[in-house]
Amino acid sequence: MFRLKSKFIFLSIAVLVFTAVTSFAAKPPKVITIGTLYASSGSFATSSTSQYRGLKFWVSQVNKEGGVFVKAFNKKIPVKLVAYDDQGQTGTAGMLYNQLITRDRVNMLVADFGSVLTSVAVPLAKVHKVLLFDPTGTAAKFFTPDNQFVVLCSLPTSGQWPYALADFLIQKKIPRIAIIYSSNDFNQSQAVTLHDRLVKAGINPVYYQAVPTSTSNYSVLLHGIEATKPDAVIEFGFVPNDIAFLEGLQSSGLKFKMVFTIFPGQQLQLIQKNVGPKALYYTYTYPTPPLLKYNDVNFGPTLDSFEQAYKETGKKVDFLVVAGYNTGLIIEKTLDAAKSFDQLEFRKALAGFSGKVKTLDGEFKIDASGAQVGEMLPVAQFVPQGADGLDMHIVYPANLKTGNEIYPAP
Amino acid sequence: MRRRYLQALSVIILVAVVFLLLPRFYSNQSFLFNLMLYLGLAEGVNIIYGFTGYLPFGYVGFFGAGAYGSAIAITFWHISPFVCVILGGMAAVATGIVLIPLLRLSGAYFAIANLAASQALYLIVANPTMEKITQGPYGIDLSSVYNADAGYYTMLAVLVFAMVVVAYIRNSDFGLSLLAIKEDRVTASLAGVNVVRARSIAWMLSAFVAGLCGGAFGWFTAVFYPSTVFSLDVSVFTIVFALFGGVGTLAGPLLGALLLYSMYNFIGISTPQYFQLFYGFLIIGLVLFLPDGVASILQKGKVYVP
Amino acid sequence: MNLFVYTIIAGIMYGIFFGLVGMGLNIIFGVLKMINLAHGDFIMLGSFLAYWLYGFLGINPLVAVPIVAAVFFLLGLPLYYAFVPRLIKSKDPEMLSFILFFGLSQVMEALVVFFFGNNQRSIPSTAFGSAGFTIFGQRFPIAWLITCLVALGAFGFVYWYLQHTRMGRATRAVMANRDEALVSGIDVERISALVFCMGLVLASIAGIFSFFVIGASYPSMGAELTTVSFAIIVLGSLGDPLGTILGGLIYGVAVMFMQSYFSSWAEILPYVLLIAVMLFRPEGLVGKAARSA
């Protein structure tokens, strides 16, 4: 009995030592696997599939060049994308993130679109010590100093989105401001930031109301807003809210000196298709690539050459395609910089090049908790072009400015 | 009678042992957790639908109440998450008590009123004015107490509890009186069954099981939004699973959830575009050709289903 | 004050439209005593058909009404004969039909996703020109007026059918008591099929105009519409088509007032109304008892 036990202990030590030695002198993998999820149905489907296409396009581009350069092994290695469809359901998403981590043992993990579908991945990544590349999950609560396993690649956390917008409103000294927002994490955090900043500057919004995210008819709400005689109306919502708001504004015949909504700057085609270009005349928004062009790109293609190359897919470039592609670029840079092939080394590498990399999506800069602080969202305004075309001017901040705002709207 | 108890017991032990051992061979703990979750929820629906005929279309309301009750207890009182899961179950029971008047409605009216109640609860929890208590639209973050293993075994305990409750109801006088109510309320009350009391107890037990499931889910998932735990899909999946297996038995809902949830994952993910279509046709086919579920095939062959 | 007047008028127009939304569900319930849980999905399907006719063939939504109506009438017949007679013979028609129609709603949603994708689709309100009209000093889009007129036309048609046609009188007899109607020699099966198809047609017409009142259409919009419709017909009176109009009006005015004065709680209203009416006045505001136990 004793002998058997000691034999067993010896054997297990041997196995342990063997695995330790082999993993230390890790052989380069044949492929780098990147795991991600997308939603083919549900309310996030449009955005999620765009983001997925962008990432997929990056994979096909690097594989054309023989793979991605991995510094830890000092060679190029092909990339393989493992993607599952979570159908927009968080329960399924949790199961599939786990599948990617524990069954497929992917080397890099990329989150699905948006905060809701990213939320379930954050604790999983932390517990399994896998770095989560988060393209668009912008909820502030994901990013805490005690969690080294999440990095926000594309956008600032949603509470920071209206920084430039607040400055613009304050600088223009617009006295009467109405804020209407949909009651969800993403929109409420923006409304709260804007409200607080305005109050601090001595502007008390004349209207500040939450509406259900499912609101689809804004006619009465718009008349309620009009009753407070605002100069500027700021609407924070998701794509369906923005469509309903703009359509309601158009059909009611009400006019305000300034109107702002979030998504025309990200999903212009979809919104324009639903409300027509006239509803967007003189509307303000946060511009994002491809509407916003960064000229000082020092990593990856410029927006123009990306748009040129992307034509081969037969699809149009929208912001989420750029966000998905940009996540690929950040992964590429990470592998190019990390000294060893290890999740925490990846994180160190990211911190190392933070603030030094500029892609077609803007500056990549993260803080200690992994939240994006480099990219910021300017303020832009749509203006009529020709009979029923649209042009867009960036009106704030000054260093990005491409035109003067037309205020009040005619 | 005793033999039937033993058969039920062996089903329960078999399920428990399988889920105790499976994590050693299969590393996707989330899949196993979700499977247990739906087994537990299907048994919970079974308690109320299988034995009293009330179709709880808003069953997810209890699930959400459990998830939020438990999460709020963890956030404010900092007590053991395990205790909080039980408190989540109690929160669901409290919700159930508020909704007892709905049991006066019959058939589809009850189902729709229950659905409306679950949506109303969702909108209350998610309302911005509730932010101090529920975090409103911001959702819940329990990552400080996140423990996937503990959550997993808690869910296993909840599942065992649900199975024990169903096994008891299936083989007791209480269960018989519930079935009598299902058949005909008036006759049952004439035969001396306290209709209101019996159906209320079944209702609260069913709510308790869903609340415990919700609490365990919240702990296991750690970060969630109101829309996650009040998603109508939870009700729908659970009811379809239970119906497919065959309600009114212990093994039926287990079988239904096991088959359909596994299929959902392994086939559904490969060709998701046809999935909802497939599900819809499955439901229609079930109603038209197999209204009593898979278990009824066996029962027709004079096989006893525990 | 201005806002108050606006809210009332908008609420009435909104309510008239929602009367139309509930009408199809209620006449089917009246005759078959079944809840068509796919009702909202038929509205959704109607709106997508109208979108397609407008976007690809340039057919104006008003012109689309007879086309969509004909399509849905023809769609209703096979659906009726495939499911309903079998359900009526089953041991629990009320419950099983509920589940079956739910399955049907899933199939419909999946098919629409398959053909149209997940994106929102709209017919812009400018389809009727950009003119507005003014009542009591309040300006409203012309599309609202047209929607209301179509809805009132549909109510008029239902009223005429029930009160002034032979089939309509037979329909009322079936609504009152199916078994007695059978005994008295009425062709209950034919009437049921006809009314089922009419219910789908009314739903699809509501779908055509939903763009102007509810907003953009998307495949998963059905479930919420079904619940709202149910709240409206319970509010009015189950199985009484004309009570639906009252239910719609109350719902419309209440929603608009909530939006004006308690906007963040507006969404909860239909659910609370539904539960309250079921518990405290189950016969609806104008009808007779429909609750058991």
**What are the pLDDT digits (tens) for B72-96?**
999 999 889 999 999 999 999 999 9
B175, part of any domain = yes
- Distance (Å) from the alpha carbon of B121 to chain A's nearest alpha carbon: 14
| C258 at interface of A, judged by CB pairs closer than 8 A | no
Residue-averaged pLDDT of chain A:
89
B194, part of any domain = yes
What average pLDDT does this structure show over A308-314? Answer: 91
Residue A85 near residue A39, CB atoms below 8 Å: yes
Residue type, B277: L
Radius of gyration of chain C from its Cα atoms, rounded to whole angstroms: 19
Radius of gyration of chain B from its Cα atoms, rounded to whole angstroms: 19
Residue B251's pLDDT band (cuts 50, 70, 90): very high
Q: Which of A193-207, B260-274, C111-125 has the highest mean pLDDT?
A: A193-207
Q: Which domain holds residue B100?
A: 31-240
Nearest by CB to B105, which of C99, C268, C278? C278
| C83 at interface of A, judged by CB pairs closer than 8 A | no
Nearest by CB to A211, which of C3, C139, C266? C266
Indicate which of B110, B264, B276 best probes the interface with C, i.e. most C CBs within 10 Å of its own CB.
B276
User: Both tokens of residue A294?
Assistant: 């960064």
Residue A169's pLDDT band (cuts 50, 70, 90): very high
Q: What is the pLDDT of residue A43?
A: 75
A210-222: per-residue pLDDT in tens?
998 888 889 889 9
What average pLDDT does this structure show over B254-280? Answer: 78
Q: What is the pLDDT of residue C60?
A: 93
Measured between CA atoms, the residue of chain C closest to residue B274 is: C110
B23, part of any domain = no
B194-246: per-residue pLDDT in tens?
889 999 999 999 999 999 999 999 999 888 889 889 988 899 889 989 988 88
Q: What is the pLDDT of residue A2?
A: 45
Residue C260: list chain A partners with CB under 8 A: 220-221, 223-224
Measured between CA atoms, the residue of chain A closest to residue B127 is: A183
B18, part of any domain = no
pLDDT higher than threshold 80 for residue B159: yes
Residue C251 near residue C232, CB atoms below 8 Å: yes
Residue B225: list chain A partners with CB under 8 A: 90, 115-116, 119, 185
pLDDT higher than threshold 50 for residue A250: yes
Nearest by CB to C214, which of A180, A217, A252? A217
What is the pairing mode between strands A207-211 and A177-182?
parallel
**Would you list which residues of chain A are within 8 Å, Cβ to Cβ, of chain B?**
40-41, 84-85, 87, 89-92, 94-99, 102-103, 115-116, 119-120, 122-124, 126-127, 139, 141-142, 144, 147, 183-185, 188-189, 210, 212-213
Measured between CA atoms, the residue of chain A closest to residue C10 is: A220
C35, part of any domain = yes
Measured between CA atoms, the residue of chain C closest to residue B275 is: C110
- A-B C-beta contacts closer than 8 Å: 97
pLDDT higher than threshold 80 for residue B269: no
- Beta carbons of A119 and B137 less than 8 Å apart: no
Q: What is the pLDDT of residue A26?
A: 63
Q: Which domain holds residue C79?
A: 12-125+145-165+191-280
pLDDT higher than threshold 70 for residue B271: no
pLDDT higher than threshold 70 for residue B71: yes
- Distance (Å) from the alpha carbon of B83 to chain C's nearest alpha carbon: 32
Measured between CA atoms, the residue of chain C closest to residue A43 is: C118
Radius of gyration of chain A from its Cα atoms, rounded to whole angstroms: 24
pLDDT higher than threshold 80 for residue A112: yes
Torsion sign over Cα C128, C134, C135, C140: positive
Nearest by CB to B123, which of C95, C98, C268? C268
pLDDT higher than threshold 90 for residue B70: yes
State the DSSP H helix or E strand holding residue A266, giving kind and residue range, or none if neither.
none
Q: What is the pLDDT of residue C238?
A: 79
**Dist. CA C52–CA C163, nearest whole Å:** 35
Q: What is the largest CA-CA distance in chain B?
A: 57
Which residues neighbour B129 within 8 Å (Cβ) at sequence distance 6 or greater?
B136, C264
Give residue for tokens 């517990």: A127
Residue A322's pLDDT band (cuts 50, 70, 90): very high
A193-202, B189-198, C76-85 — which is least confidently predicted? B189-198
**Dist. CA B65–CA A360, nearest whole Å:** 45
Query: What are residue A367's phi and psi, to 5 degrees?
Result: -95, -175
A89-98, A225-234, A321-330, A346-355 — which is least confidently predicted? A89-98
| A66 at interface of C, judged by CB pairs closer than 8 A | no
pLDDT higher than threshold 80 for residue A271: yes
Residue C112 near residue C219, CB atoms below 8 Å: yes
Measure Cα distances from B166 to A323, B7, B35, B41 in Å. 50, 13, 18, 12
* CA C158 distance to own-chain centroid: 13
Residue A94: list chain B partners with CB under 8 A: 30, 34, 221
Strands (E), C87-221: 132-135, 138-141
pLDDT higher than threshold 50 for residue A21: no
Nearest by CB to B108, which of C35, C91, C265? C35
- Beta carbons of C3 and A224 less than 8 Å apart: yes
Measured between CA atoms, the residue of chain B closest to residue A94 is: B30
Torsion sign over Cα C190, C193, C197, C203: positive
Cis? peptide before A408, omega within 30° of 0 = yes
What average pLDDT does this structure show over B24-29? Answer: 85
Long-range own/partner contacts, residues B298-305 (CB < 8 A, 24 or more apart): B299/B246, B304/B4, B304/B7, B305/B246, B305/B249, B305/B250, B305/B251, B305/B252
Residue C138 near residue A65, CB atoms below 8 Å: no
Which residues neighbour C38 within 8 Å (Cβ) at sequence distance 6 or greater?
C101, C102, C104, C105, C108, C222, C226
Give the total number of structural domains in chain B.
1
Which residues neighbour A387 within 8 Å (Cβ) at sequence distance 6 or greater?
none
Q: What is the pLDDT of residue C292?
A: 41
Q: What is the pLDDT of residue A378?
A: 94
C224, part of any domain = yes
Residue A9's pLDDT band (cuts 50, 70, 90): low
B109, part of any domain = yes
B12, part of any domain = no
A44-76: per-residue pLDDT in tens?
888 899 999 999 999 999 999 999 999 999 999
A345-395: per-residue pLDDT in tens?
999 999 999 999 999 998 999 999 999 988 789 999 999 998 788 999 999
DSSP-derived letter for residue A230 is -
- Beta carbons of B146 and A212 less than 8 Å apart: no
A166-170, B42-46, C117-121 — which is least confidently predicted? C117-121
Give the total number of structural domains in chain C.
1
- Beta carbons of B283 and C106 less than 8 Å apart: yes
Domains in chain A: ranges and CATH:
32-156+293-364 (3.40.50.2300), 162-285+378-400 (3.40.50.2300)
**Dist. CA C68–CA C50, nearest whole Å:** 7
Residue B283: list chain C partners with CB under 8 A: 99-100, 102-103, 106
Q: What is the pLDDT of residue B59?
A: 96
**Size of chain C in residues:** 293
Task: Name residues of chain C where pLDDT drops below 70.
Answer: 1, 283-293
Residue A180 near residue A207, CB atoms below 8 Å: yes
Residue C239: list chain B partners with CB under 8 A: none
DSSP B34-83: HHHHHHHHHHHHIIIIIHH----TTTHHHHHHHHHHHHHHHHHH---HHH
Q: What is the pLDDT of residue A386?
A: 84
Residue C141: list chain A partners with CB under 8 A: 251-253
C186, part of any domain = no
**Dist. CA C275–CA C166, nearest whole Å:** 37
Residue B178 near residue B48, CB atoms below 8 Å: no
pLDDT higher than threshold 80 for residue A234: yes
What average pLDDT does this structure show over B122-137? Answer: 90
Residue A124 near residue A136, CB atoms below 8 Å: no
B26, part of any domain = no
